[in-house]
Chain A
Amino acid sequence: MKVSYNWLKDYVSFDQSPEQVAEILTLTGLEVEEIHKVGSDLTGVVVGRVTACDQHPNADRLKLCRVDVGEAEPLQIVCGAPNVDVDQKVLVATIGTELPVSLPDGSPLVIRKSKIRGEVSLGMICAEDELGLGDDHAGIMVLNPEAEVGASASSVVNTNIDFIFEIGLTPNRPDASCHLGVARDLAAVLNKHLKKPFKTLSNPDNAVTDHPDISITIADTDKCHRYVGILVTDVKVGPSPDWLSSRLKSIGLRPINNIVDATNYVLHELGQPLHAFDYNLVSEKKIEVKAFDKERSFITLDEVERKVPAGSLFICDGTKPVAIAGIMGGLNSEINDDTKNVLIESAYFEPVGIRKTSKLLNLQTDSSYRFERGIDPNITYAAAHRCATIIRDIAGGKIQAKYVDVHPVKTEPRKVTLRLKRLNKLLGTSFMINQAVSVLRALEFEVKKSSSDEMICTVPTFRPDVTDEIDLIEEVARIYDYNKIPNPDYIHIPRPEVLPFREQFLTRLREVARSLDFREIYANSLLHENTATAFAQDTDLIKTLNPISKDTAVLRPSLIPGLLKAAGYNFNRGAKSVRFFEIGNTFKKGNPGTWHNGIIEETWMMLGLGGLRREEFWFHKEEPYTIFDLRSAVEVLLGSIHLNKNIVTKKISDHELGLYYENKFIGSIAEVEKKTRDYFDVSAPLFVATLCVSDMLELAKNLPPMVYKPVPKFPGIDFDLALQVSSNIDAGDLEQTIRSVAGSRLTSISTFDVFEGKSLGSGQKSIAFRLKFIDEMKTLTIKDVDSIITKVVRKLSDSYGAKLRS
């Protein structure tokens, strides 16, 4: 919202600079996001007299002028204006002047000594628009012949410099959506009087409901609480005077004509949106405020035909709609050059209805912006009358004394009690009661002290946001300035809460993954439906009802698509390898649900790697990643959270291993299938492990605390076991069997050799394990482990047909 610095001075007198005013407003809660300077003081522009005006020797359209600017020699200036002539008094921008207009590249126009078609030009004779004084570019500005040569431009024309504040208005402050409202906060901080541009809020003697010239009815009183109509007759429509058009232009509005401009002026002055109808185009002298139960087509005054949804509020005359209430008037009744009589509408429309219609039409106007935030229901008449007065002053005409005021829903001011103790306790301040009273009164609250601690405050109706005591406390604090609240002598020494186990666990996982050389990624949790269906049943997916696009319509059922996307992104940008992890939530339908019925929201961890494990180097050959690189990382990770001892790895398919804790599935390690990789444009091999953090967390929480184990006192013994088995036997099964049969003295197994070849015969392979045995009580000898080995070999032979190779 734009607010003019000069305009504010109409309502409160102050000497503060624009920067100071901006700071004050910001600190009351009206954040000034930017300050723009508009206009110029025209330094360097002076009055000159054209002493000669000849044809430019080299250009038909240019004149070669000599202009006396009060210096010893007249200046030679090349001028292209058709109206330049000898003896005119003109405004001349001398060399070095910066004019308040911009070049196409945004830099200001600076006058320099130049040669135009071979002739020296020592300045510029200016048109109105070049001085920021108007839009006229038809010719140069010709001054009154009495203007004194050499005088500064600011002595002969209005230079109107102004500063425009761009205020980011929060939705709780509809009262500040106009200059008077902003001035009210400013006056309160500066402790100055607020000068209002109207005398009374109502004029009951002249208010009628039956008017001979206009009948107004409200059919939908839920949506329209009040409607005031004032007639101004015999006006003359024309351009607005300078003061009005320049005010509107300064806040970015385009002047239209004196009637419309007056309504816009009052909107920005008092915050009451108004509409002016050409009274003669209002058929049957009737205004009715009503909604239709069907969609209607309507042409608004911007000449756009709009489909207005059913239920939207219209202003209708005797035969047809003439405006969309609170949003925009209709083309059929707009003020035009022939308008003689004007009906001014000033109404209170209920915010929710306006907001709905505005959203559905995708049309926000200065008017709807204010109605949907809630305007003052009691300024209706004052604003209409203010507008009528301005119209009378600038467009002639006569204000009809009797006006219509239909007011079916009255808003009574709210009364709220403020306790001083409560205020001081909550703010940590020690205000005296009179300080609070004077702040609130400056903001136009009526305050009655009911005791030494209590104030009964009547809230002005332009402050719909103030409903409770706490709101009054905020009012006092914000006008006082938050930054002046005293620093407390102490704050309570906290007794820290214990960090939840979950937080400690997640931090640990993140730390371990990083130490295993994985990079953390943050992937998108909204996916394209086609992507998501590759990772879960369609019926399990959770979709948003209103996605921005199909690409982000479904909540991720898995973290794997995030890896694939990141891998594809990086491989396509020249990366040779990826090594990523992510911890995040996944979403699926299912019962009973985690937080909400039917929705399973779980935390998972993803570790993925792919591409080259090593690039070609003098030291080693190029080597791709294999699933074993990932498996070893996952094993270390599980070890670091002390879950590795009880986790069993089982084969799910030739490309996927499941991880189970006492038969409960907690995750998997897999090679990503080629067709999935192709979908994400990843050609390199890619491996991914996903672990259910929610489950691991529960398991880890129940583990006994870690206790130190003495290091072995006696040396162990290694035993190499080379087995010949059929090719289809899985090494993992052999290893599991060895572990389960060998007993507690077996401390580790290492698979040190795998081969197949003719010497073994076809369909056979050899796998060699190195078993390490340790006894805590004594030094083991080969004799001690012989019986164990015999047992192991027998079991392997029985279960898998394994033969011991010698």
Chain B
Amino acid sequence: MKLDTDSIRKSIREFEINSAESLEQFRLKYVSRKGKVAELFSKMGTLAAEERAAAGKVLNELKNEAQSRFDQAKIDLESNLSTERAASDDITLQAPARPVGSHHPLTLTLEEIKRVFYRLGFSIAEGPEIEDDFHNFTSLNFPPEHPARDMQDTFYIHKDEHQIDKDLLLRTHTSPVQIRKMLEQRPPIRSIMPGRVYRNESVTYKSYFLFHQVEALYVDKNVNFAELKETLVMLAEMVFNRKVEYRLRPSFFPFTEPSLEMDIWWEQPGKPGKWLEILGAGMVHPNVLKSVDIDPEVYSGFALGMGVERMASLRYGIDDIRIFYDNDVRFLEQFQ
């Protein structure tokens, strides 16, 4: 006797499965213990002994084929089942907003400047915002009658009757931190001094009575003007991330000599190019070194300083300094 495996194999392959019902019918017909394949197994006993081994092999293949057809059809059916969906199942629905953190553009700009100086081997130093006259003026080679000491230019906290050095004021620049650093550490010194400074100025689009500066100080043997120049160019190119056209102009600060200001050539679409001042710098004045007991015949140094608001304004095209302190979310969220 011969088992009719061929026709069953054909029907297993051709059985149409397109719903849960037809899948169940397939299962009952070919996979279940009462199905056709199982029925054939039960007929094995009727075969001649020498035929049984071959027939068993064929039947097992048939059984496996039915099972795998069933498994595959089941997976296919389930993945096609989600044709009916709820309104909230729509994945194109708008996602909810979430709070987002951000750093202030002044922080971002300062971080950029810090990164440049860190790469150049500079560290960082800080000092108080309330400063005494000695650190803010005297030690920086400001003569006693210098106009910056006027009440019109500087916020005072305390006027000392006997010693001008002991007047307390809101620092007008971060240079006093240079003095503190030099008093605390002998050369070599390579450090930057960022911080908040104050000037007695009225509030307009381009001036505010407080702003932020970052200065850099390098004191060592053999520090010279040419190195300052090289450093400035490096700095400008790293901060603005491009080759810059620059010029150095002689200028005046009591605490440096020679003193200079650096301009870079600035072009904006639709506007004529112009020189824009980005920083002031110079060789540390020998009198300043003397005031902190560093021998200017042995050591020399350079210092440079720039306004963080100014750099941030240049980077982001901001034309009103007041917006930095309004803390308007519609402004801040642009920097996330």
Contacts and interface: CB of A to CB of B under 8 A. Distances in A.
The answer to whether A binds B is yes
Interface of A: 26-29, 31, 170-173, 351-352, 355, 359, 425-429, 468-471, 473-474, 477-478, 482-483, 485-488, 491-500, 502-503, 510, 513-526, 542-548, 552, 555, 565-566, 569-570, 573, 575, 577-580, 584-585, 587, 594-596, 599, 601, 614-615, 617-620
Interface in B123-150: 123-132, 145, 147, 150
12 contacts: A171-B252, A425-B224, A470-B285, A477-B225, A482-B258, A493-B121, A515-B101, A518-B101, A519-B332, A545-B158, A575-B329, A596-B130
A603 B178 CA distance: 20
Contacts of B102: 514, 519-520
A491 B156 CA distance: 41
A133 B138 CA distance: 52
B62 to A, nearest CB: 46
Residue in A425, A519, A584 whose Cβ sees the most chain B Cβ within 10 Å: A519
B124 A499 contact: yes
B122 A496 contact: yes
A478 B97 contact: no
Contacts of B100: 517, 519
Contacts, number: 232
B327 interface: yes
B81 interface: no
B104 interface: yes
A617 B96 contact: yes
B19 interface: no
Contacts of A498: 123
B242 interface: no
Closest 5 CB pairs of A and B: A494-B121, A428-B226, A29-B250, A170-B252, A497-B123
B106 interface: yes
Residue in B151, B170, B225, B260 whose Cβ sees the most chain A Cβ within 10 Å: B225
B333 interface: yes
Residue in A473, A487, A499, A596 whose Cβ sees the most chain B Cβ within 10 Å: A596
Interface of B: 88, 93-94, 96-104, 106-107, 118, 120-132, 145, 147, 150-152, 155-159, 168, 170, 190-191, 196, 198, 200-203, 209-210, 220, 222, 224-227, 229-231, 247-252, 257-261, 283, 285-287, 300, 324-330, 332-333, 336
Contact of A487 (B107, B226, B248): B226
Given A425-B300, A520-B104, A596-B168, 4 more contacts: A494-B122, A546-B200, A614-B96, A617-B97
B170 A544 contact: yes
A498 B210 CA distance: 30
Given A500-B125, A503-B124, A525-B129, A473 B107 contact: no
Contact of A500 (B123, B130, B150): B123
A577 B251 CA distance: 48
Residue in A29, A355, A573 whose Cβ sees the most chain B Cβ within 10 Å: A29
Nearest to B120: A494
Nearest to B246: A483
Contacts of A428: 224-227
Contacts of B101: 513-519, 579
Residue in B251, B300, B329 whose Cβ sees the most chain A Cβ within 10 Å: B329
Contacts of A492: 220, 222
Contacts of A171: 147, 252
Contacts of B96: 614, 617, 619-620
B142 to A, nearest CB: 11
Nearest to B297: A422
A580 B130 contact: no
Contact of A522 (B150, B248, B324): B324
A601 B129 contact: yes
A595 B104 CA distance: 27
Contacts of A547: 155
Contacts of B231: 491
A702 to B, nearest CB: 20
A135 B250 CA distance: 40
Contacts of B248: 27, 482-483
Nearest to B159: A545
B104 to A, nearest CB: 4
A170 B333 contact: no
Contacts of B332: 519-521
Nearest to B148: A171
A474 B131 CA distance: 30
Contacts of B336: 519
Contacts of A491: 227, 230-231
A497 B191 contact: yes
Contacts of B103: 510, 514, 520
A570 B130 contact: no
A482 B229 contact: yes
Given A470-B285, A510-B103, A546-B200, A595 B128 contact: yes
Given A496-B118, A547-B155, A615-B97, A426 B300 contact: yes
Given A526-B209, A617-B96, A482 B251 contact: no
Given A519-B102, A521-B327, A359 B130 contact: no
Contacts of B257: 468, 470-471, 473-474
A515 B170 CA distance: 33
Given A514-B102, A542-B130, A426 B225 contact: yes
A523 B156 CA distance: 21
A370 to B, nearest CB: 15
Nearest to A566: B327
A488 B226 contact: yes
B230 A497 contact: no
Contacts of B283: 426, 470
Given A569-B328, A595-B128, A601-B128, A31 B249 contact: yes
A599 B132 CA distance: 12
Nearest to A613: B99
